[in-house]
A and B are shown apart, each in its own frame.
Chain A
Amino acid sequence: MRSGSSVGTTKKLWKTMLQYKYFYLMVLPVLIWYALFAYAPMYGVTLAFKTFDYSGGILGSPWIGFDHFQKIWSDADFHTAFKNTIIISLMKLLINFPVPILLAILLNEFSRKTAKRFFQTILTFPHFISWVVLAGIITIILSRDGVVNQVIMAFGFESIAPLTDKDSFRPLLYITHMWREVGWDSIIYLAALAGINPELYEAAEMDGANRFKRLQHIAWPGIKSTVAILLILHVGQLLTQGASFEQIFNLYSSPVYAVADVIDTYIYRTSFQIGGDFGYMTAAGLIKSVISVVLLITANTIVKRMGEEGLY
């Protein structure tokens, strides 16, 4: 609402605000929540430039400028964690992002209704189980006395230990991630597909289009925008959720730190198990945040250039 005279604008503004009074009421709890739990603690970011002092708390801690960042720059473990975060997130994006889409399309094309529901139920089930439990299950299954090794040894091969093997740990992450999430992730795409007007399909069939052409020209455009938004969100979260702290934290062990330690697990270990300077940890977290924002903006811009609607 732009207009010329400021007096007129303020009055109009006030009037509009009154109009929306119920909406302000509705949004108030959310705003309070963010104020309390996201913004009030925000001053803690300054710790990235200080060294933590117990007697003074965050406010009383002395400033040390960019010292932490310099140390991070030369910290080999942080570099490893950073590298791993990127690699694992990207690979997950590459591998785990397309598959739910394919699954959704597959399920959508499948005509047997009850069977479809049955399969959906089973494939979605693992998502409801926390990584704490799944890690316990995976550990037992892959242990030397576990099923996998029983079968392998029955065939005469040597037992394997993928959980502690640097070459197999990352693929294990991708596979187990797929196991847990493919069904769940496909729901959003299925919903988008369900929203496509069935008449479009009918018309296409009448025109003689085969299944593949129908996919290309009807299904894909229907979910393109969903895919675009989710892609942006995933890229924006490459450094944060992309590498799934919960999954790695519950599955990893020291032999695989070199390939699986990610920024979040590194921060966790250094804060709580080694007891490092909290300021150092905050600095690491800050680096992560800044880069994530950059990634998000980049992804969003690219997607918009490609003609899709972005996040904002």
Chain B
Amino acid sequence: MKQTLMKKRSKMSAFDIAVYIVLGLLSLITFFPFYNVIIISFAKFEVISKFNLYLLPLSFDLTAYKVLMSDAKFWSSMFNSVLITVFGVLFSMTISVAGAYALSKKGMPGRNGMLTLILFTMFFNGGLIPFYLVVKALGLVNSMLVMIIPAGLSTFYLIIMKNYFGTLPESLEESAKLDGANDLYILLKIILPISAPFIATFGLFYAVERWNEWWYALIFISDSAKTPLQIYLRETLITSNGLLNTLAQQAADSDSSKVYTPALQMATIVVSSVPIIMVYPFLQKHFAKGILVGSIKG
């Protein structure tokens, strides 16, 4: 079956149909658990205690959401995560891009030594206690900065970025130099704009990491005013603590005691995913386009 070379609105080939089916099924399976989460979040205690949950929503009850949204701690941890993500990405991207660009310059004296030292750290580290001591010496223990700075650099991304910068043609820089530009200017006014999709991608990579951050918070953060969203989620989902415990102290006839535990847990998941859902398709435009991850030639 010949297809036209211009991939315009040609008729669907058998291949296309097959792909539709395969991807369609995959997408359904991928998405189904989230659908389930949504249904459960709308479940009512009375209903659940009588019937089991099937594939269709049985009730449309917003109690879980009401309870969740009235928890100040939920909002503060969400806010913290937003702060950490925004500033985290700014920090990480600034030093990563600058560093990767510099490291891509083969002619820079000492470059190979630096790269070796950096790669070495991918495998060897001194362990948690000395790391803790360093963080403590810097005064970062129990500070939100601990989730931005020490957590904020990925050797993996750094290497890939460096490789990418290495694939850019030298002519770009040479012509700029002829016009009298210095290296900083070149980086900011020439390299960055050209690499926009690429930068966007890694910005997204880092953003995901910061948003999902919980390990550093677990070890270093005690003040509940500074905990990020993922810790809040952990408490709700895994230890059945946090909000549920506070609810335990409240009057028996208030809204809070009417909530069905899994419904509350699922509502928490739904609400905390909203920021991602909003931001994601928007960014997808950028990175799905030509990411020249000729990363690999290097």
Contacts and interface: CB of A to CB of B under 8 A. Distances in A.
6 contacts: A23-B101, A27-B102, A136-B237, A183-B30, A229-B295, A229-B296
A82 B69 CA distance: 44
A150 B298 CA distance: 53
A44 B131 contact: yes
B109 A132 contact: no
Contacts of B27: 119, 122-123
A83 B208 CA distance: 31
Interface string A155-179: 0000000000000000000000001
Interface of B: 3, 5, 7, 10, 12-13, 15-16, 19-20, 22-24, 26-27, 29-31, 33-34, 36-37, 40, 52-55, 94-96, 98-99, 101-103, 105, 107-109, 114-115, 117-119, 121-131, 133-134, 138, 149-150, 152-153, 156, 158, 182-184, 187, 208, 211-212, 214, 230, 233-234, 237-238, 262, 265-266, 269, 272-273, 276, 280-281, 284, 287-288, 290-298
B208 A128 contact: yes
Interface string A106-150: 110111100101011111111111101101111011000111001
User: DSSP class of B's interface residues: helix, strand, loop or mixed?
Assistant: helix
Contact of B98 (A30, A107, A120, A205): A30
Given A106-B23, A132-B233, A191-B293, A140 B40 contact: yes
Given A40-B134, A124-B284, A130-B214, A29 B98 contact: yes
A145 B53 contact: yes
A303 B104 CA distance: 23
Given A41-B133, A225-B296, A26 B20 contact: no
Interface string A201-245: 010010000010000000000000110110001001000100000
Interface string A41-63: 11111010000100001100000
A22 B182 contact: yes
Given A191-B292, A226-B295, A47 B127 contact: yes
A60 to B, nearest CB: 13
In this complex, the member of A29, A30, A233, A296 whose beta carbon has the largest number of chain B beta carbons within 10 angstroms is: A30
A123 B30 contact: yes
B36 A20 contact: no
A267 to B, nearest CB: 9
Contact of B266 (A29, A107, A140): A140
B130 to A, nearest CB: 3
A129 B133 CA distance: 31
